[in-house]
Amino acid sequence: MRRRRQTKKEPMLTGWRFLTVCGVILLAFFALFARAAWIQVVSPDRLRMEGDMRSLRTTVSSTTRGMIMDRNGEELAVSVPVQAVWADPKQVHAEHSLEKEQAWQALADVLGVQRDKLVQRVDNPKRRFVYLQRQVTPAVAEYIRKLRLPGVHLRPEERRFYPTGEINAHMVGMTNIDGNGIEGIERGFNEWLTSQAGERRVRKDRTGRIIEDLGIVSEARQANNIQLTIDQRIQALAYRSLKRASEFHRATSASLVMLDVKTGEVLAMVNTPSFNPNNRSQYQSFRARNRAVTDTYEPGSTLKPLIVVSALENGIVQADSIVDTSPGWMRLGGKRVSDTRNLGPISVQTILMRSSNMGMVRMALQETPEQLIDTLYRFGLGIDSGMGLVGESTGLVPQRRRWSDIEKATLSFGYGLTVTPLQLAQAYAVIANSGVRYPLTIIKRDKVPQGEQVVPRQHADAVLHMLEAVVGPGGTAGNAAIPGYRIGGKTGTSRKAIAGGYGNDYVGLFAGVAPISNPRLAMVVVMNEPQGDQYYGGQVSAPVFAEVMSGALQLMNIRPDGATEEQFQLAGQEANLVPHT
């Protein structure tokens, strides 16, 4: 068969089709190039923002609130690490977390809430954050972590812990659940104790890993610790003694303040009733008040030594003067002022020792109201202490244009004005320190500030030695005596004011200093509304003074009066040889 000769034909290209395809391809490349140029050069902000929203994050460094310590470094308030349990309702619903019923029941059991209430908190899928419980312990947090519930997460936080509990509750105070101070030192010095978390800008990938550190947004600021002037050993002794006495006498409340007369430092400040700041479920507002600085009382006879200083300074009497109190009573403005019996002519020291109202009235009536008020102000009454404690009251020193004789008379034995226990303690510290007043402080200072001579030294020293007789034989404060030490002080018993006059409730006070030979400590004990037959300051407050002051003198290693240094050291060595049980 004859093969036909085959010829290879070349394909023919149509010119317009080729050009069209090339034009479309070029146009597409040009469009892509133009779009890329627009996105990256002309208008990159939007997509850059979209990318940053998906990758940029701000990390916050952990912070710790500052500690509160006593003068010896013992911790009174510390922060401990805990965890907060929170949920992402949107994630809970998206990943069908609620279908794990047993795990949710276990979560409800460990948190101590009903499962239905727990589920109600995450029933809105539009929400992204809700707390399930704050401040859970690390053990509970680890248990929750092992449940592996989708949408349930943990975040670190802090909880404030108070090792001394109710002993320092009023003074140290406490914080709320967010770590902000709401009472006491915690509130008054909140900014100083609070740290500021540092922030860093980072870029994360889709798994949450940091792939780029973009730098610091804000620097962290470390919290500051606070060291108080309180001696926890004396504080614990004072609280135990005051609580026992207030419960025995069924007092509505009681307060105790102890000062170092040489520095103006507060060594102890306690109140009853108290509360446990670690147990918020039993918190009651009336228990949280620091009554030593917030509550005011008419000081009664504890004011008499201050009036005697005023009389000495203004030349009304001399330290060895005799004042005639006969016939033991008088009427002023229709009111009767009297002693329990006619004491006749007695010395100024006996006026204090026997707490003679008539003797005080005889002196006060010879002074002008301005002289009396000026003396009280110089002792620190009616003014703020400057310590920065929450709710501190200035008390009330009366200011009148016209004074009647009965108003001057009642002022002389402690009625018609109000003071806080802290103010009264400062006044006795002035007497103990030869008329020098130091600024009070509850924050430990590096050095003692300059004191101010507010009353003449000789008059303060004269009254100080008169106060020793009050605690001695024949005085009204025999229960305040401490074996081996010379003690000075003054009892006071004032009736509580009610509408239209005075009621049947009393306030029993004792204010004193020790030791007389070289005064170091001043203390005030106030027993508010003691019940029963015993309500005088010498009966309800003086024994507390004796117990606490005796312990404080020993704890501070203050030598007894009359003992030589060698005898004191030998006694201390013998005491250390006695085995403790």
β-sheet with 521-528: strand ranges across: 265-272, 253-260, 521-528, 501-514, 488-498
pLDDT confidence band for 563 (50 / 70 / 90): low
Q: What is the pLDDT of residue 61?
A: 64
CATH superfamily of 60-195+202-227: Penicillin-binding protein 2a (Domain 2) (3.90.1310.10)
Least reliable range by pLDDT among 50-59, 115-124, 260-269, 485-494 = 50-59
Separation CA 50–CA 52 (nearest Å) = 6
Pull the structure tokens for residue 112: 């101590």
Quickly list H helices, 56-137. 89-94, 101-111, 115-120
- Mean pLDDT, residues 260-269: 96
Set 301, 356, 494, 550: catalytic member: 301
Q: Identify the sign of the CA torsion 381, 461, 451, 448.
A: negative
Q: Is the pLDDT of residue 60 over 80?
A: no
Cβ-contact 66, 226 below 8 angstroms: yes
Q: What is the pLDDT of residue 210?
A: 78
Q: What is the pLDDT of residue 422?
A: 97
Q: What is the pLDDT of residue 37?
A: 81
Q: What is the pLDDT of residue 474?
A: 86
Share of residues in the chain with pLDDT > 70 (%): 91
Q: What is the pLDDT of residue 9?
A: 58
Q: What is the pTM of this model?
A: 0.83
Domains of the chain, by residue range, sit at 60-195+202-227, 232-573
| Residue whose pair of structure tokens reads 């068969």 in the numeric block | 1
What average pLDDT is seen over the chain? 88
Q: Does the N-terminal peptide bond of residue 515 adopt cis geometry, omega within 30 degrees of 0?
A: yes
Cβ-contact 414, 303 below 8 angstroms: yes
Separation CA 385–CA 255 (nearest Å) = 17
pLDDT confidence band for 33 (50 / 70 / 90): confident
Task: Specify whether 301 is catalytic.
Answer: yes
Judging by DSSP bridges, how do beta strands 68-69 and 226-227 pair with one another? parallel
CB contact set of 523 (below 8 Å; sequence gap of 6+): 256, 257, 258, 259, 268, 425, 428, 511, 512, 513, 545, 548, 549, 552
Q: Is the pLDDT of residue 202 over 60?
A: yes
232-573: CATH topology is Beta-lactamase (3.40.710)
Q: What is the pLDDT of residue 404?
A: 92
pLDDT (tens digit per residue) in 209-261 = 777 777 776 676 788 899 999 999 999 999 999 999 999 999 999 999 999 99
pLDDT (tens digit per residue) in 81-139 = 899 999 999 999 999 888 888 999 999 999 999 999 998 999 888 899 999 999 999 99
